[in-house]
Each structure stands twice: as C-alpha cells, then as structure tokens.
Amino acid sequence: MKPPILAPSLLAGDHGALAADAAAVAGLGLKWLHLDLMDGHFVPNLSFGPQTLAALRRHGSRLFFDTHLMLSEPHRYVDAFAKAGADRITIHIEPAYDHAAALGAIAALGLKAGIALNPGTPAESLLPVLGLVDLVLVMTVQPGFGGQAFRDDMLPKIAQVDRWRRERSLDLRIEVDGGIDLATAALCRSRGADTFVAGTSFFAAPDRAALAASFRAL
C-alpha cells in the first residue's frame, strides 16, 4: 500500500486569506494542497480560477497543487492551469470531450494527470483511460459543495479500482474527496484509498497538527 497523503482542500479555507491558509498547511509538514475549480455548469457552484493558483505561487507556496477541475470543458483550461502552477490536473470522466487527448495534453506539459468519477458514475467508465492516469479520484459526495456527508456506498467502487490496480500492476494513487475525516478516511483506506482530500474536517479541526499526524498513521 502506498503511504497515505492528506490533501487539505482550500475550498474550506478563508477565501480572503488563501495564501495564509496554504502557508499553514505547509507549516504542518504537509506536501499537498487540493484546489477545487468549479464552473457553475458541471457543478452548480463557483469557486476560484487559475489566477488564484498563480497568486498562491506568487505568495511563495511550494506545495504540490492537486488541482481538481469540476468543469464541463476541462481541456480548454489545461494550459491556463499549467501556467498558473498546477502540479496535477484531475479532470472528470462524465462530460463529453476527448478524455484521452486531454490527459495526454496534461502529461505533455509535464504534469501529473488524474481522472475523477462522480458518485453516480460506474467504475467501469474508467477502463478506457486507466492506463493514462496515475491517480483516480473517487468522489465520495456529489461534487460542488464542501461540508457534505460521506457516502459509504462508494466503498465498493474504491475496492474495485484497487482490484484493477493490483490485477493490472498499475502505479496509481486512489484519492477520495468529500466528507473525509479520520473515521471515513480509515474506511476508505481499508478498501485501498491512499490519498485523502479533507476540507471541512481539516480547516475546522481544533488541532490540525494532531489531525495531520493521525492521517499520516492511517
């Protein structure tokens, strides 16, 4: 099993002080920062844009920007997010566009490429692109909003992706996102997840250092 990674989601941070929140994440010794981009179309909400990533870089963040594009046309924005400082770009399988070409464009820019699935999307929809990514993001809530309850009916999907990973000797991370706290992360970990996005549970934690240490020990 890959060592666990905690990726705090800046969506749950203070949007008037995002650079300070990113610095606080780095200050705990964490390496990843999850950035949620929404277009008001693929999901019924808006968040921030590439200029936000660029500003975080300008303010000195050297975290690994785990960029989650909840966009109907993610392929149109790959260049912009690459220029803005993304390290990984994860795109959704649901909208109709050339997924393989978009993942290829991400990789050609020297970035890591991930694919995400909504709760209603069967694991099998991943199969055509499984060899093109090094991260599968299994959404454990319907994307669009932080603070929702974890869906434990996603656990079999995590286990299925883990089975394919082992059967096909694929080197990929399995990330979960939505309603993740220490308890739900442990459930996901037991099914093979190794990368944990935490928005509300991280930013509302009374002792973030203790929380980060507990995630490290998952």
Using CB under 6 A, list all residues that contact ligand DX5: 9, 11-12, 34, 36, 68, 141, 143-148, 177-180, 197-201
Whichever of 11 and 53 has its CB closer to ligand DX5, that residue is 11
Q: Going by C-beta distance under 8 Å and a sequence separation of 6 or more, which residues neighbour residue 98?
A: 75
| 198 binding partner (options ligand DX5, Zn ion, none; Cβ < 5 to 8 Å by kind) | ligand DX5
How buried is 26 (Cβ within 10 angstroms: 0-12 exposed, 13-18 middle, 19+ buried)?
Answer: middle
Return the bridge partners of 175, or none: 137, 195
Site string for Zn ion, 169-188 (x = CB under 5 A): --------x-----------
Give the footprint of Zn ion on residues 3-62 (CB under 5 A): 36
How far apart are CB 90 and Zn ion at their closest, in Å?
8
Q: Which stretch binds Zn ion (CB under 5 A): 54-62, 67-75, 98-106, 187-195?
A: 67-75
String of DSSP letters for 121-147: S-GGGGGGGGGG-SEEEEESS-TT-SS
Is residue 66 among the annotated active site residues?
Answer: no
Strands (DSSP E) along 9-96, which ranges?
A: 32-38, 64-70, 88-92
- C-alpha to C-alpha distances, 139 to 143, 147, 198, 207, nearest whole angstrom: 7, 13, 12, 26
Please pick, from the candidates 18, 68, 81, 165, the single residue that binds Zn ion as defined by CB under 5 A.
68
- 21, 87, 162, 177: the catalytic one is 177
CA–CA gap between residue 183 and residue 179 (Å, rounded): 10
How far apart are CB 177 and ligand DX5 at their closest, in Å?
5
How far apart are CB 169 and ligand DX5 at their closest, in Å?
29
Tell me the residue type at 18.
Answer: L
Whichever of 60 and 147 has its CB closer to ligand DX5, that residue is 147
| 37 binding partner (options Zn ion, ligand DX5, none; Cβ < 5 to 8 Å by kind) | none
Is residue 36 among the annotated active site residues?
Answer: yes
- 21, 36, 162, 194: the catalytic one is 36
CA–CA gap between residue 119 and residue 218 (Å, rounded): 24
CA–CA gap between residue 133 and residue 85 (Å, rounded): 19
Which residues form the interface with Zn ion (CB under 5 A)? 36, 68, 177
Catalytic machinery residues: 36, 177
